[in-house]
A and B are shown apart, each in its own frame.
Chain A
Amino acid sequence: MTADDRTTMVAEPPLVAGDEAQRADARQTSDIPPQAQTGGPTGAGTAPPAQPGGSGPGGGSPSGPASPWWRAERLMPRALRGVAFLPLVALVLILAALVWKAMPAIRYNGFGFFTRSVWNLGGSYSPIVTTNGIRHPQGATYGALPLIVGTLQSSVIALVLAVPIGIGTALIVVEKLPARLSSGVGFFLEVLAGIPSVVYGLWGALTLGPFLAHDIAQPIANVMPNVPVLNFFRGEGPNNSAGNGNGLLVSGVVLAIMILPIIAATTRDLLRQVPRPTVEGAVALGMTDAEAVRAVTLPWVRAGVIGASVLGLGRALGETIALAMVSGGSPGHIATSLYGAMTTIAATIVTQLDSAFNDVSGLAVSVMAELGLVLLVITVLANAGARWLVRRVSTTALPVGRGV
C-alpha cells in the first residue's frame, strides 16, 4: 500500500469526514432552519443544508414550531404513512376489480370449470342466450383443467431442473470459487434474472426449442418404452415425434432458466451465513468437503432453500410471455407426453384476451378474470408459503428478480 493510497483511504469515508461539517451545519440550523426546502427526502443528497439569513419568507425571524419547514417535518411521517398504504389499497382494488369482473363467469361455469377439458367460446355469430341470468353465446363452454395442469406441469419441470442446479451452483460458488470469480458468477445470475422474459421466449422458440427437440429429446423419445410413467417421455404418434420445439419440455426448461437465479442467488446468500466453525469442525472430524456439505451445510440452509424454491415456483406459475411463445398454445387439451403442446393460465389470458373482446356478451372477458383469479390464488399461496419459510433470511447481495 502506497502512502497515497493510505491518505485517500483515511480520508475516504465521506460519512466520517462529512460528519464534522454536518455537525457544524446542524449547529447553524438549530438557530435558523432552512426555509427553502420542502422537497422532501428525495432531494436530500443535493440540497444545501441551510441559508443563514436566507432569502426565504421570514428568513430572519426566529422560527418556532410555526415555520413552514417545521410543519412539513412534523407532517412528513404522516404523509409517508399515507403513501405506505398505497400498495395495500392497490391490492384491495385489484382483487375487487378481478372478483367483480369474474363474477358472471364464476356463476356461469360453476365448479365444472376446474374439471372440464374444453375451451369453446361459442359461435361468434350464434345468438346470445341467457342461462342462469348470464348472457352468453350459444355453446360457450369453458374448462380450465388443461390450463391448471399445464401451469403445474411446466412449473414442476422447472423446479426439478432448477433446484439441483441452483443449489450446486451456489455450493461451488461459496465453497470452492475464489472471491473474484464468484462475483463474476453473481454477475451471470443477475444477467440471467434481468433478461426480459420476451427475450427468453424468442430464444426458446428459435434456438433452444429446435435444439432440444432434435438433439436431446428425439433420441430419448425413440428409446422410451410404451409403459405407464415412462410413456410420458415417449414421443407422440407413430413416428415417436418429439415435437417441433414448442411444448411442455421447452416451456419447463425456459422456466427453469428463468427461476435459476432466484434459487441460486438466495442459496448462495444463505450458504454465506453458515458459521464456518461448524463446517470446519465436521472437516476436523475427518469428513470430506462433500460430506461436510451434506451433513452440516445443507441441513443448515434447508428451510431457506425450500423457501427460495417456492419463490421460484411462484415466478414460474405466473410467467406469461415466454410461455405464450414456446408452449405451443393449446387450451383444450392436456399434454400426454413431455413434448406435447400445452398452455398455461397466464399464457392463455395473454393470447386469448384479444379474441375474447369479440364475444359481445362479455362472458369471454369475464372468464379471463376467473382465470386470473385462479392464477392469483395459486401464486399467492405459493408465495405465502415461501415467505413463511424464508422469513428469517435477508439477502445481502444485489437482489435478483421480481418477488425476491
Chain B
Amino acid sequence: MPAGVTPQATSERRPADRQAARRAAGASLGRRRLTNRLAWIAGALCLALVAIPVLSVIWGVVGRAVGNWHWNVLTTDTAGNGGGLLNGIEGTLVVMFGVAVITGVIGIAGGLYLGEYLPADRGQILRGASEVLSGVPSIVLGYVGYVVLVVQFHWGYSLAAALIVLSILVVPYVTKTTEVAIRGVPTAYREGAEALGMRSGYTLRKLVLRPALPGIATGLIVALAIAVGETAPLLFTAGFSNKAPTGQLTHSPIGYLTYLVYTYFNVPAASAHALAADAALVLLVIVLLLIVIARVLVSMTQRYSPDRRQRVGRAPT
C-alpha cells in the first residue's frame, strides 16, 4: 500500500517540519523554478556588466581617437599643445625593452631559484617579501624612486630611475609566474634525467626550462603590459621629454605614452585632447597585442601540458 505510507510518515513530523518539507517538495516547484531562472538571469546580467565596460572603454577611446586621426602623429614629436606621439612611442618602447631585460634576468632567476632549488616549504621570507612588494602601491614606488634616485643620487629625471622603479614593480610578478611554471614541470622529468646520468645544468636547460618557457614568457609579457600601462611611478622618475630618447641612462628625461594621456587630457586645448586620445589608442593597441601574444603562449603551454600529452598519446591506439 504505497499510497498509505507517505501520509503516515509525514503526519508524525512536527508542523514546522511538514511546512518545510512542503516548501522544499512539490508545492512550490514553480517558484523554485522561477528562482532558479532568475538566479541565472542575474548571472547573465553580471556577464553583461563585465562586457559593457570593456566595449565602452574600447569604443570610447577608439571613437575619440579615430574621429580626427592623422597618421602623422606616429611620425612627429610632441610640440606645444599638440604635435605627435613619436617621442612617446619611442620612449615607451625603450622603457618596455629595458624592463623586459631587467625583469627577464632578475625575475626569472629569482623564480628559478624559488621553484627549482628551494623546497616548496622553504624560502617563505623571500616569497613573503615578493608578495608584499607586489602589493606596494605604484605611487609609493614612484615617490621613493624620486626621493632616492632622482634627488639623492642626482640622476635627475632619467631612464635609469624609471627602469629601476618599474622593474621593482613587476619583478615579483615575473618571479611568481616563473616559479609556478617551473613547479608545473613534472618531477619525473628531473628524476628520469638524473637516472640517466644527465648533469643538473643540462637537465635544467633542456628538460625543465623548455616546457616551462611558455609559462615564463607569459608572465613576462603580462608584466610588460602592466609596466606599459603605469603612469604614477614614471611621472616623478622619467620626467617627460618632447624629444626622442637620447640613449643616456641618467640626466636625460624620457617621453612615454601614459604621460601624454594623463597630462594632455587636462590641457584646455582641442589639439591636446586629441593627442591624449591618440596616445590612449596607441597604448590600448600595444596592450591588446601583448595580451594576444600571452594568450597564444598560454595555449602553447596547454598543448604541451602532461595531461594533454597523455590524451594525445593514447589517441592512435
Where the two chains meet, the residues of A that have a C-beta atom closer than 8 Å to any C-beta of B are 1, 6, 9-10, 12-16, 18, 22-23, 25-26, 29-30, 33, 40-42, 44-45, 47, 49, 69, 72-73, 76-77, 79-81, 83-88, 90-91, 93-94, 97-98, 101, 164-169, 171-173, 175-176, 185, 187-192, 194-203, 205-208, 257, 260, 264, 286, 288-291, 293, 314, 317-321, 324-325, 346, 349-350, 353, 365, 368-369, 372, 375-376, 379-380, 382-384, 387, 394, 397-403
Shortest distance from the beta carbon of B173 to any chain A beta carbon, whole Å: 6
A346 x B232 contact (CB < 8 A): yes
Contact code string B47-60 (vs A, CB < 8 Å = 1, else 0): 10111011011101
| B197 / chain A contacts, CB cutoff of 8 Å | 26, 30
Shortest distance from the beta carbon of B271 to any chain A beta carbon, whole Å: 16
The answer, among A16, A77, A191, A320, for a CB contact under 8 Å with B113, is A77
The answer, among B46, B138, B209, for a CB contact under 8 Å with A318, is B138
Bound Cα distance from A29 to B193, whole angstroms:
13
The answer, among B117, B137, B143, B290, for a CB contact under 8 Å with A317, is B137
B94 within 8 A of A: no
**A260's closest neighbor in chain B, by CB?**
B50
B50 x A169 contact (CB < 8 A): yes
**A40's closest neighbor in chain B, by CB?**
B109
A91 x B129 contact (CB < 8 A): yes
B140 x A98 contact (CB < 8 A): yes
The answer, among B43, B132, B284, for a CB contact under 8 Å with A168, is B43
A45 x B106 contact (CB < 8 A): no
**A353's closest neighbor in chain B, by CB?**
B236
Nearest first, the 7 A-B pairs at minimum CB distance are A196-B229, A168-B46, A318-B137, A383-B135, A44-B205, A172-B43, A290-B39
Which of B11-19, B80-88, B144-152, B246-254 has 4 or more CB atoms under 8 Å from chain A? Answer: B144-152
Bound Cα distance from A257 to B55, whole angstroms:
12
A288 x B35 contact (CB < 8 A): yes
B171 x A206 contact (CB < 8 A): no
The answer, among A9, A190, A260, for a CB contact under 8 Å with B291, is A190
The answer, among A83, A185, A198, A291, for a CB contact under 8 Å with B110, is A83
B134 within 8 A of A: yes
Contact code string B265-280 (vs A, CB < 8 Å = 1, else 0): 1000000000011001
| A399 / chain B contacts, CB cutoff of 8 Å | 177, 219, 222
Bound Cα distance from A93 to B152, whole angstroms:
14
Bound Cα distance from A101 to B108, whole angstroms:
32
| Between-chain CB contacts (< 8 Å), 10 pairs | A9-B315, A42-B105, A84-B109, A91-B133, A97-B147, A173-B47, A189-B50, A203-B56, A353-B143, A379-B137
The answer, among B108, B135, B140, B201, for a CB contact under 8 Å with A73, is B201
B40 within 8 A of A: yes
The answer, among A14, A15, A372, for a CB contact under 8 Å with B140, is A372
The answer, among A288, A318, A394, for a CB contact under 8 Å with B33, is A288
B204 x A41 contact (CB < 8 A): yes
Which of B1-9, B67-75, B154-162, B210-218 has 4 or more CB atoms under 8 Å from chain A? Answer: B210-218
| A176 / chain B contacts, CB cutoff of 8 Å | 40, 43
Bound Cα distance from A321 to B265, whole angstroms:
12
**A289's closest neighbor in chain B, by CB?**
B36
Given A6-B316, A26-B202, verify A208-B226 contact (CB < 8 Å). Answer: no
B95 within 8 A of A: no
Given A194-B225, A318-B139, A320-B137, verify A290-B35 contact (CB < 8 Å). Answer: yes
B288 x A191 contact (CB < 8 A): yes
B143 x A349 contact (CB < 8 A): yes
B295 x A33 contact (CB < 8 A): no
A101 x B147 contact (CB < 8 A): yes
Contact code string B16-47 (vs A, CB < 8 Å = 1, else 0): 00000000110000001101100110111111
Bound Cα distance from A42 to B303, whole angstroms:
22
B99 within 8 A of A: no
Contact code string B151-182 (vs A, CB < 8 Å = 1, else 0): 00000000000000000111111010100100
| A47 / chain B contacts, CB cutoff of 8 Å | 205
| B169 / chain A contacts, CB cutoff of 8 Å | 402
**B228's closest neighbor in chain A, by CB?**
A196
A169 x B43 contact (CB < 8 A): yes
| A401 / chain B contacts, CB cutoff of 8 Å | 226
Bound Cα distance from A41 to B117, whole angstroms:
13
B36 x A30 contact (CB < 8 A): no
Bound Cα distance from A403 to B170, whole angstroms:
9
Contact code string B190-208 (vs A, CB < 8 Å = 1, else 0): 0001001111111011110
A202 x B199 contact (CB < 8 A): no
Shortest distance from the beta carbon of A76 to any chain B beta carbon, whole Å: 7
Shortest distance from the beta carbon of A192 to any chain B beta carbon, whole Å: 5
CB contacts under 8 Å to A, within B82-126, are 104-106, 108-110, 112-114, 117, 123, 125-126
**A167's closest neighbor in chain B, by CB?**
B46
Bound Cα distance from A192 to B225, whole angstroms:
12
| A368 / chain B contacts, CB cutoff of 8 Å | 143
Shortest distance from the beta carbon of A341 to any chain B beta carbon, whole Å: 16
B137 x A165 contact (CB < 8 A): no
B61 within 8 A of A: yes
